[in-house]
Amino acid sequence: MNRLIKWLQKRLAHTSVVGIGEELHIEQWRNGKKIYERTYKAHSAVNAGLALVADRVGAVAAGAAVTYLALGTGSTAVDPTDTALEAEITDTGLERAAATVTRVTTTVANDTLQLYKDWTATGVKILREIGAFNAASAGSMLARKVFDAITTANTDHVIMTYKFPFTAV
């Protein structure tokens, strides 16, 4: 994350505005077969998430890095004032978990934060939302995305790749 902060600071020196994009890729696997796949692109960073990024870039506050993904059942549209998921899942193997965090290239080298998580469901749930957080519980939410409902079955794999490309605007 320190390299990302240094990269952002360098970019800010040459640019007046940095934008945060968003891309969510969802896969659902059942019995070894992919049964669902979809990609969403939007800008769903919430106000608290923008403050978190500003804190991290400027080393203003000691906020933790965004390394957790959480799933939920809420379907209310994203509001910039959201600070949590509408209905976070806390059971059936789909609870908030540490993601594999990397930087990948979208436009220029290492300009995108990527969080990847493969959950294994232990029961039936209807998934409708995801959030990226900086803590295993509570914490600050960078972004929230509402998506078309996905119904899990026992042993389904739900794979989420949540990307945040940073661009000079």
Question: What is 60-99 written as a DSSP string?
Answer: -S-PPP--EEEEE---SPP-TT--S-SSB--STT-S-EEP
Q: How many separate domains does the chain show?
A: 1
Model pLDDT, residue 54: 80
pTM for this model (two decimals): 0.85
Q: What is the mean pLDDT of residues 37-51?
A: 85
| Predicted confidence (pLDDT) at residue 68 exceeds the cutoff of 90 | yes
Structural domain boundaries, residue 38:
2-168
Model pLDDT, residue 42: 78
Higher pLDDT, 42 or 109: 109
Other CB atoms within 10 Å distance of the CB of residue 169 = 7
Query: Residue 48: pLDDT band by 50, 70, 90 thresholds?
Result: confident
59: three-class secondary structure by DSSP: coil
| Predicted confidence (pLDDT) at residue 168 exceeds the cutoff of 80 | no
Higher pLDDT, 7 or 56: 56
User: In whole angstroms, what is the distance from residue 11 CA to residue 102 CA?
Assistant: 19
Model pLDDT, residue 19: 76
Burial class (CB in 10 A: 0-12, 13-18, 19+), 39: exposed
